[in-house]
Amino acid sequence: MPVSHQIHLDTNREGVDDYVVLNRDASGQTSITDGRQLSRVVNLATGTASALFFAEHSTNTGNTVQLICGEQIGMNAANLLATNVELDVLAQDFYFGGPGDLVEA
């Protein structure tokens, strides 16, 4: 999958992104050497990243599912249905260098 789906999250809604959820090759590279995709969460304040789930992208579909745990973005069960999060979504063709799409909040 040569498309990077990036979900930028502003978890405290102060206008600055706190995390980005993106799909990357399981090898950890920005190239496609493994072929399996992981849903990675990057903490933009610390630069640390974690990956707990594979990204779901079935053959012959345009849909990609990126699962994360609330703990990866500093949330827990108390935040469920009680905390709003601002997000922007970017689809970037990093392999062919083609145009991408951006949906901003």
Terminal CA-to-CA distance of the chain, rounded, Å?
Answer: 25
Q: Identify the residue whose tokens are 């053959």.
A: 59
pTM of this structure: 0.85
Per-residue pLDDT tens over the stretch 35-94: 788 999 999 999 999 999 999 887 887 788 999 999 999 999 999 899 999 999 998 877
Q: How far is CA 12 from CA 22, 33, 70, 89, 102, in A?
A: 19, 36, 14, 17, 21
